[in-house]
Chain A
Amino acid sequence: ILNVEQSPQSLHVQEGDSTNFTCSFPSSNFYALHWYRWETAKSPEALFVMTLNGDEKKKGRISATLNTKEGYSYLYIKGSQPEDSATYLCSCRDMRFGAGTRLTVKP
């Protein structure tokens, strides 16, 4: 993997569903992995910065894991709510971003 890649591109879930999505990145020369939440018509806001292999971070119903050896991070949302609807971005090498996963939570 040469760049930061995110999957899926978009996701539609029902309120109350748990969901997860993936950020893949080059495993060589790893510094840090960032997750951001970006609501429509607003600016991206940082969720997590992860630096260590095996790291797990949690903020409320949102958590993230990191595997630097294989070059991926998962973001999990437990019991999705309509207010979780946003684009979730990850950033890795050289502060460059993936294209994001657009999450829509239907009431």
Chain B
Amino acid sequence: NAGVTQTPKFQVLKTGQSMTLQCAQDMNHEYMSWYRQDPGMGLRLIHYSVGAGITDQGEVPNGYNVSRSTTEDFPLRLLSAAPSQTSVYFCASSSSYNNEKLFFGSGTQLSVL
């Protein structure tokens, strides 16, 4: 059972480039989310989805887009990368919003030069 699969593990971008971080889960979870981790700030919620076709903004959504065309996949798009987006990104999923534990992917370390 793969759980939550996140790719790539590492990425270096130049300012202004765009890219997509991939996230897929095979647990039939309705809830999926993206977090970024910065030193001293724990995990901050970027965007989340409570089901296919439904997305919403979290605490720090600016500069990121998401879509949820299937239950399994929840890609995160950086439209025009900025150095402030240098961070470690985690995708997570859960069987329900709020009441069930999150399962996390292995993380993506992104550097924007």
> How many residues of chain B get a CB closer than 8 Å to chain A's CBs?
25
Which stretch in A12-20, A44-52, A66-74, A78-86 binds the other chain?
A44-52
Q: In the complex, how many residue pairs between chain A and chain B have their CB atoms under 8 Å apart?
A: 55
Chain A binding surface, main DSSP class: mixed
- A26 in the interface (beta carbon within 8 A): no
Do the beta carbons of A31 and B99 come within 8 Å of each other?
yes
Measured in the bound complex, the distance between the Cα atoms of B102 and A44 in whole Å is 9
Distance (whole angstroms) from the CB of A33 to the closest CB of chain B: 10
Measured in the bound complex, the distance between the Cα atoms of B100 and A89 in whole Å is 15
Distance (whole angstroms) from the CB of A43 to the closest CB of chain B: 4
Q: Which chain A residue shows the least CB distance to B48?
A: A95
Do the beta carbons of A99 and B102 come within 8 Å of each other?
no
Do the beta carbons of A95 and B102 come within 8 Å of each other?
yes
8 closest A-B pairs by CB: A46-B101, A43-B104, A99-B42, A31-B98, A97-B43, A100-B42, A97-B42, A32-B99
Residue numbers of A with Cβ under 8 A of B are: 6, 9, 31-32, 34, 36, 43-46, 49, 51, 89, 91, 93-100
